[in-house]
Structure 1
Amino acid sequence: MRKRSLAALCTATALGVVLAIPTAALAADPHPSGFKAWTDSTRIYLDFGGSKLPQHLKVNLRKAGSATPVATITSFEPTPDEDPCSPSCQDDTDPETGIRSAPLRLADLGVYSVDVLYDGTEGEPVVHKDKATLAYGLIPRVTALRVVGTPDVEHRTVTIKADAVGLDPRNDTEQPLPNGKLMLDTAAGSTPVLTDAAGHVETPFTFTGSEEDDPVTGGTGVQVTLRPEKEGANSPLGQTRTVQTSQGPSSRITLDAATVKAPDGSKAPVGGRLTFKGADGTWKPAPAGTWVQSRDGGWAKTGADGRFATQVLVDGRISGLVTLTGSAWLAPSYATVAVDPSTSAGFHGGLTATLTADRKVSLTGKLSAYDLPAASKLKVLVEFQPNGSSEWITKATRYSAAPAGDSTRAVTAAGLPYPGPGGWRLRYVAASGIPAGPDARRFLARVNTAIPEFNAAPEPVKAGKPIGITGKLTHTRYYNETTWSGYGGQPVRIYFRATGATAWTLAGTTTTAADGTFKTFFTAAKDGAWQARYDQATYDHFNATSREDLVDVQ
């Protein structure tokens, strides 16, 4: 049979007969990459990745485990853009592309399977079964939250009282929420809470004592939030209260050592214990999980015995600082630890830097050496980082002679050419046995100026007749701008150099108009070149020089 069919096909081809291919074979899903489908308590959401939707789109809902649809949805609306100012209020380049159903009114509460159907490219049905699940039930809401009691660090238990209701999505009526699962949130974590048969909550709750101050009120208190289990922390279906705490008792940070020793620029480990003075006058461990902060070393939590381990930055001989702040349970306290840098060297005291109007850079930094075993020659690189770049480029090398022990020497680099706006730094290069500490940095930039238009006329000119000098001074307004504009109200000096001479002579000074133009006159006396200079630039501008213009005097 197969041979006969092949023979017939060959014969038809030979006779030029074109056999029709069934169009169904070319049919396809118009969304081969898939789409998103999800639900909330009462709506179905779809997102096909664009504004063009498939033809005859609909959603069928089936009770879980059943094959028979109980509802069909054919009407949808665009999903509102929850953040119209993302990426910007002027140009939201990523608008919402999703759609959603209206709030559903189903006959029964329960769990439903979501099937999505639409037409394929040739009008054939495309069915995506079980694309999502709809949990259609009472929508819980906390209607009242009260916290009874004023806790302190030694007595941290209060009573939580609350009421919760469930909104029936079938008819928008509310009823007490029986045996509803809620979550009680504090800064220290979340605790599940169940309502009773009448939708009430009354239960003791014990704070950890490590919760921080309420960030909203900024006072001595902690936040408590009661919300439905599946809602986020800021859900409008929950409620938040601030619980005032009693005035925190005195606290004390006791460090394990009075001094730390480590290379300059490194972080040295520091341990200690946080305690508070109890009502009986004895010092007791702070609650586990209380945060202490080390300046430049980060945060650390206390353990059950009040102990903590953190770090302090070795920044020359600046003392390390460990603090307790922001606790709703304990009064603030701090402790300092002396810092003794071990063998190392680094820059301290900042970087003195100048950028002159004639484009010269000078830098001076203080290189401190610590605990050197012998006199050493310390290598320092003068480096530049162009604005917008992450690469540092070496512009010069300096050497600093340091004696044994501790010393501080100035390192200077003067008269360096200005390569453009960017950062400068002096960096000691670690030598064998002498680690490198901090470098010294500074950003330098000035605004560019130019005299692109300049003319001395007429040419030639008779002796004793006036010579008109005209031109224009421009600037870029900002150091990183490329658009030039006239620079008004600025002094421009006019110079003359007679033919055969080598020195320029100041002929006079003029002031630019608002648009940056200038004009002045001189009496022709001899052949020579004229030039305009902006050489009295302010602290944020560069100098500028015009071209030379030769005038023949007859």
Structure 2
Amino acid sequence: MLCTLGALGGVLAVPAAAQAADPYPSGPSVRTSETAIFLDFGTTKLPKDLKVLLRKTGTDTPVATITKFDVLQDEDICMPSCQDDPGETGIRTSALGLADLGRYAVDVEYDGTGGETILHKDEAVFDYHLIPQVKRFEVSGEPDLENRTVTVTADATLRDPRDDSETPMANGRLVLETTAAKTELTTDAAGHVETSYTFTGTEKHDTSTYQNDVAVVLRPAGAAAAHGLTRQVEVYQASTTITLDSPTVRGADGTDVPLSGRATYRDRNGVSKPVPVGTPMSVYEVRSFKTGDDGRFTTEVPVYGTQRQTIALHGTPWVPTTYAYVTPDPTTSAGFHRQPDVTVSRYKKISVSAVFDRYDIPAPTTLKVNLQFKALGSKTWVTKKTINSPAAKGDSSRTVTAADLPYPGAGVWRFQFPGTKQIPAGPAPESYMVSRSMTAFPEFNASPEPVKKGASLKITGKLEEKNDFSGKWQKFADARVDLYFRAKGKTTWKKAGTAVTDKNGKFTKTLKATKDGDWQARYAGDNYLHFYGQSRLDFVDVK
């Protein structure tokens, strides 16, 4: 790596027509670090006679010219895609050793397509300054929730990039950082700091180790973590307990109701104390919340029938994961808690069933339930059928079923109890996406017509399927097609043969002509993906 330093004795002249012949009219992407400059032209092909020129900010005369660069390895060889990625595009200078500290304007110069000089000025600013760094960092103490204070000692220096010499960072600003808080510290005249630090008690685990510890980072203020040091501090983990104010909650089915309680831990002497303010908790897989003063918490839990809800205190280095359970007791209400069971026959018929749960019904009654459908891409529920469901007094469950409904296309289904003044409505979960593809025979022919008795009869056709999501018809390959014949004057169809569609959905079958009659191709459908389909009738006259 070579670099030429010194005054160039003037400003480079750029021909007026240079931009017209600039192979990179937008210039390179340029960024700087504390000691080097990075360029990216978006391609592996670099311009000829490439130079980086540095000027003191506010002046026109370059004080340094860099002509040698290192190629940087492409960090992601499949961006934007493995086919379109331009490859290794980044280059960088060496660590620069300039004569003076300060801010420098970065210009980029190279040859145009006609050999003329192209100059892109002020592509970046290179800030050449003393580099702060933490050289020593220690944390002393064995913290727990009862005593979260430790002692921090550290030394920081300033490195001069001109000669790599170091001096103490006198009265420098440092930042001590954990996953829970940031605290600013100040060094003394010798670049030294020694002070106490108190953890919040809500720090997260350091996942880089297998111990029960937290990571503590000390870095110069305004500098990246790479200029600092990280230490792992092992902490004592206390046992915890969640105490609910009530183990049950009351509310209408499908609503959220308040829940409160207190989270505590036991110290090393077995004394129960509140967990720290801000300890993370949740109604498991529903909502998150945090503890407040004295370990107290208030949240809401869903009443979803009598399904038990889990209250979790999430583990940290200070406390283990702990659970408590609350049992909902629904007031007068009715709803559905399980996903509807939907079947689609190959003959375009829908059947839907679900369990209807009723709670605290004051007297025997009949509840009206709507079977609703929401088409793919729509936000509107359409009622397809209303069903009367008898309900006994108190709590009861009953399966509601609707059968043999016409298939309306791709979409989701649900049973919905709309509620009454006396009986509020509960949940109405929707089904999974229900879809099957239509099938059709756009082509079908039996030839020749007429045909001699005993001669060969060639039956051809084409089978297509309709994509239920795009609405487009497309060829249906590798499908079994059954061929049927009905003699003239008869009502009974007989299977005469089978063909399989090729990659274009087409099929051919040769049979013997014996009688006058109708021919038809049929696709029987399958268990899950395709509906039944049949072709037109083709009458063949046999002589």
Q: Same fold (TM over 0.5)?
A: yes
Structure 2 matches for 1:168-317, cutoff 5 A?
A: 168-217=160-209, 219-232=211-224, 235-246=225-236, 248-317=237-306
Cα shift readout 1:46-78 (whole Å, capped 9, x = no counterpart): 9999xxx9xx9987534xxx8898958899999
User: CA 1:68 to 1:461, structure 2 compared with 1: closer, same or farther past 3 Å?
Assistant: closer
Worse-superposed segment, 359-368 or 177-186: 177-186
User: CA 1:255 to 1:548, structure 2 compared with 1: closer, same or farther past 3 Å?
Assistant: same
Structure 2 matches for 1:525-536, cutoff 5 A?
A: 525-535=514-524
Work out whether 1:506 is the aligned partner of 2:494.
Answer: yes
User: CA 1:147 to 1:86, structure 2 compared with 1: closer, same or farther past 3 Å?
Assistant: farther
1-structure distance, mates of 2:80, 2:332? 50
1-structure distance, mates of 2:492, 2:64? 93
- 2:309 is matched with which residue? 320
**Cα pair 1:449 1:544 within 8 Å, conserved:** yes
- 2:130 is matched with which residue? 138
Give the TM-score, by structure 2 length: 0.76
User: CA 1:376 to 1:104, structure 2 compared with 1: closer, same or farther past 3 Å?
Assistant: farther
- 2:539 is matched with which residue? 550
1-structure distance, mates of 2:101, 2:185? 24
Alpha carbon RMSD of aligned pairs, Å? Answer: 4.6
**Cα pair 1:76 1:99 within 8 Å, conserved:** no
Structure 2 matches for 1:394-405, cutoff 5 A?
A: 394=382, 396-403=384-391, 404-405=393-394
2-structure distance, mates of 1:477, 1:381? 25
Cα shift readout 1:1-55 (whole Å, capped 9, x = no counterpart): xxxxxxxxxxxxxxxxxxxxxxxxxxxxxxxxxx999865456899999xxx9xx
Aligned match for 2:334, one of 339, 345, 348:
345
2-structure distance, mates of 1:484, 1:552? 31
- 1:469 is matched with which residue? 459
Cα deviation for residue 439 of structure 1 reads 2.3
Worse-superposed segment, 144-153 or 311-320: 144-153
Consecutive unaligned residues of structure 2, counting only runs of 5 or more, are 1-27, 110-119
Q: Name the aligned partner's letter for residue 240 of structure 1.
A: T
Q: Name the aligned partner's letter for residue 61 of structure 1.
A: K
Cα deviation for residue 86 of structure 1 reads 5.4
1-structure distance, mates of 2:189, 2:72? 37
Cα deviation for residue 511 of structure 1 reads 4.9
Cα shift readout 1:272-316 (whole Å, capped 9, x = no counterpart): 100112222221111222111212442221123111122212211
Aligned match for 1:361, one of 334, 350, 375:
350
2-structure distance, mates of 1:186, 1:429? 51
1-structure distance, mates of 2:473, 2:317? 54
2-structure distance, mates of 1:268, 1:446? 41
Aligned match for 1:61, one of 56, 60, 73:
56
User: CA 1:201 to 1:261, structure 2 compared with 1: closer, same or farther past 3 Å?
Assistant: same
Cα shift readout 1:233-255 (whole Å, capped 9, x = no counterpart): xx433333332223x23211001
**Cα pair 2:32 2:125 within 8 Å, conserved:** yes
Work out whether 1:377 is the aligned partner of 2:388.
Answer: no
**Cα pair 1:178 1:195 within 8 Å, conserved:** yes
**Cα pair 2:389 2:400 within 8 Å, conserved:** no
User: CA 1:76 to 1:99, structure 2 compared with 1: closer, same or farther past 3 Å?
Assistant: farther
SS where residue 414 of structure 1 aligns?
A: strand
**Cα pair 1:475 1:487 within 8 Å, conserved:** no
Aligned match for 2:475, one of 460, 464, 484:
484
User: CA 1:272 to 1:88, structure 2 compared with 1: closer, same or farther past 3 Å?
Assistant: farther
Worse-superposed segment, 423-432 or 290-299: 423-432
**Cα pair 1:450 1:474 within 8 Å, conserved:** yes
Cα deviation for residue 532 of structure 1 reads 1.5
Worse-superposed segment, 505-514 or 311-320: 505-514
**Cα pair 1:472 1:486 within 8 Å, conserved:** no
User: CA 1:81 to 1:270, structure 2 compared with 1: closer, same or farther past 3 Å?
Assistant: farther
2-structure distance, mates of 1:117, 1:87? 26
Name the count of aligned residue pairs.
Answer: 508
